C-alpha cells in the first residue's frame, strides 16, 4: 500500500513538472527560462511545503521525478515546434 502511494506521488511530481515546463515555456518563449522556473517551483515546494510547513517529507526522488517531468515537457515543446515548423 505505501509503495503505491509513493509511486503515485512520483507520478504527480512528474506530471505537474511537465505541465509547469510547458506552461512557462508558453509564457516566456524560453526553454531555459521554463526549466529554471519549473525547477525553482519544485525546489520551493519541497522546502516550504515539506520542511517548513511539515506537511510532507522532502525527498530527492521527488526532485528527480520533477526533473524528468521537466525534461519530458520540454521534449514535447521541441517536438511540437519541429512538427509545426517554428
**Considering the entire predicted model, what is its pTM?**
0.87
What pLDDT does 37 receive? 97
What pLDDT does 38 receive? 96
Nearest to 62 by CA among 35, 77, 44: 44
> What pLDDT, in 10s, does the model give residues 36-65?
999 999 999 888 888 888 887 878 899 999
**Average predicted confidence (pLDDT) for the chain:** 91
For the chain, the domains span 17-84
Phi-psi label, residue 85: left if phi above 0, alpha if psi -120 to 50, beta otherwise: left
pLDDT reading at 3 higher than 80: no
- Grid coordinates representing 35 are 526549466
Average pLDDT estimate for 61-86: 94
Amino acid at each position: 500500500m505505501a509503495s503505491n502511494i509513493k509511486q503515485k506521488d512520483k507520478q504527480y511530481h512528474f506530471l505537474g513538472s511537465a505541465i509547469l515546463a510547458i506552461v512557462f515555456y508558453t509564457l516566456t518563449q524560453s526553454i531555459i527560462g521554463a526549466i529554471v522556473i519549473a525547477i525553482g517551483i519544485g525546489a520551493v515546494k519541497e522546502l516550504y511545503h515539506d520542511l517548513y510547513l511539515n506537511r510532507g517529507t522532502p525527498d530527492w526522488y521527488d526532485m528527480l521525478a520533477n526533473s524528468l517531468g521537466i525534461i519530458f515537457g520540454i521534449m514535447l515543446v521541441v517536438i511540437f515546434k519541429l512538427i509545426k515548423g517554428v
